Amino acid sequence: MRARSGHLNFVESPPMPRITLLFQALLLLVACANSTEEKTLTNGQDGAPPEGREGAQQPTRKFTEGKDYLVLDRLRVIDPTGFAQPIEAYSILVPKGWKSTGGITWNVGTGCMAESVRNRVTVTSPDGAFSLEIYPLQQWDWWDDQLMLQTMMQQAQNPVFRRCAISQPLDASQFLQGPLAQEMHAQVTAVEPNAELTSLLQQQAQAANQMYRQAGTNTESKPSAALGTLRYPDGSAGVALCSVAMQVTWMPNYMNGGQFAAYTCQATQKVALRCPMGKEAEARKLLSVVMSSVRINPQWQQGVQQMMNNVAAVEQNETAKRAAIQRDAANYSVDLQQRTWEAGQASQDRISEQWGQTLRGVESWRDASGGSVELNVGYNEAWSRPDGSYILSNDPLFDPNVALQEDWKKLEKGK
């Protein structure tokens, strides 16, 4: 694996489950960029214009990157081994010069099918003061019937029965303060349950709940989202976000009568941005741009879904040979995972945009064709290139077409 030119290139690394993360990314503000290496722009060696741009307008003064303007590059995360050839999985916007490690790895055959595609990425500023951490999806199950719970725990000790972890159901706030805090090695000092995003997730869950009812399945989707502030042992601070998709299915209790509830929980988004103490506001704005800029490759997404469907078909054939209660539980789990993946992908863009609005660090810009992008709040001018790069500036004299002697298209701020 090697990071080159703001891209993640994985050559021979061997996992991002069916629910895309969000996903879910980066951007450093001008105040933070002052600590990075400055780049002074000139007309070329000895004042000569760059090759191939003879006759182009020349800059009247020098502009310094990180002071007069901010450059955002699109970091492309590559899945190197999941398919016949490496393919881009998703991309995010990050400040130019940030370094990335990690990426997509596969672990097909793991006990939890939803965790067979693992997305773990770290992106760090040149001085190491800021660090974006994207953590992989997690799934766990629970039953409120003690006999069923005991049976499933016993099965989990048998390698023949592959399954996800067994743990009590948690919403996003509980998960953020518990398992995610442990994974981040951080203390959560405050949690903000996100009403706006939770409302959006619940609206989307209504469609899934309707599908469950039409299929005759007594299942309900209960999503949640939360935002938290962090403190690390070294004294640094940070902000983290997570969302949890919880499905509850009521099943007949043949032993005692009545019903019992089976829970399946997935932490679908687990993202943190570490920063120096006192820079939490900047970190929130930066994380806002990251989350708003997530773009998932549909080809990769479809390939992952097909792989999950193939694995699910095999598992369904195998579970058909087991006892009825075991078959029902396994089939429920597989079917639920498939539906979660399909529903999650259709709404990923709206969720990413809502995270950006929640963190209140972005504003919309439009290009000449009507396309829009969410970029850092607080800038008066913006330009883009077809490669997915952006430049932001508040200097009225700065024009990247002149200062950089490159082709950039100006954006208009959305209203």
Q: Tell me, what DSSP letter sits at residue 114?
A: G
Band of the pLDDT at 386, cuts 50, 70, 90?
confident
- 346 exposed, middle or buried (CB, 10 Å; 0-12, 13-18, 19+)? exposed
Of 300, 268, 277, 273, nearest to 286 by C-alpha is: 273
Per residue in 319-333, pLDDT tens? 444 334 444 443 433
Element (H, E) at 32: helix 30-33
Distance, CA of 172 to chain centre = 15
Rounded-to-integer distance, Cα 260 and Cα 332, Å: 14
Tracing tokens 């299942």 back to the chain, one arrives at 219
CA 229 and chain centroid, separation? 18
Instruction: Of 146-160, 163-177, 204-218, give the range with the top mean pLDDT.
Output: 163-177
Has residue 317 got a pLDDT over 80? no
**Cβ atoms 352, 289 nearer than 8 A:** no
| pLDDT band at residue 347 under the 50/70/90 scheme | very low
Structure tokens at 246: 């919880």
Q: What percent of the chain has pLDDT over 90?
A: 38
Q: Which residue has the higher pLDDT, 334 or 356?
A: 356
pLDDT for residue 238: 97
Phi, then psi, of 355 in degrees rounded to 5: -60, -45
CA 82 to chain centre: 19
CA 71 – CA 316 distance, rounded (Å): 50
DSSP letter at 178 equals: I
Report how far residue 279's alpha carbon sits from residue 106's, in angstroms, rounded to the nearest whole number.
Answer: 35
Q: Is the peptide bond before 16 cis (omega within 30 degrees of 0)?
A: yes
What pLDDT sits at residue 24? Answer: 36
Output 192 or 190, whichever has higher pLDDT: 190
| Strand ranges, E, within 198-304 | 219-231, 237-252, 259-275, 295-296
CA nearest neighbour of 204 among 302, 345, 338: 345
Which residues, in sequence order, are CB contacts of 383 under 8 Å at separation 6+? 390, 391, 400, 401, 408, 409, 410, 411
pLDDT at 387: 86
pLDDT range class, residue 350, cuts 50, 70, 90:
low
State mean pLDDT over 273-292. Answer: 91
Distances 222 to 169, 170, 176, 296 between C-alpha atoms, Å: 11, 11, 16, 24
Count the domains in the chain. 1
Q: What is the pLDDT of residue 357?
A: 59
Amino acid of residue 309? N
Chain segment 262-280, per-residue pLDDT in tens = 999 999 999 999 999 999 9
**What's the pLDDT at 338?**
38
Residue type, 122: T
Highest mean pLDDT among 7-11, 57-61, 209-213, 385-389: 385-389
Query: Residue 384: what pLDDT?
Result: 92
The residue range of the domain holding 69 is 2-413
Q: Write the DSSP assignment of 48-72 as a string of letters.
A: PPPTT-TTPPPPSS--EETTTBEEE
Cα–Cα distance measured from residue 53 to residue 132, given in angstroms and rounded to the nearest whole number: 38
Burial 249-279 (b: 16+ CB within 10 A, else e): bebeeeeeeeebbbbbbbbbbbbbbbbbeeb
Report how far residue 5's alpha carbon sits from residue 71's, in angstroms, rounded to the nearest whole number: 13
Placement of tokens 């502009």 in the chain? 63
Q: What is the pLDDT of residue 340?
A: 40
Q: What per-residue confidence (pLDDT) applies to 47?
A: 39
Please name which of 290, 265, 282, 267 lies closest in space to residue 355, comparing C-alpha atoms.
Answer: 290
Specify the pTM.
0.72
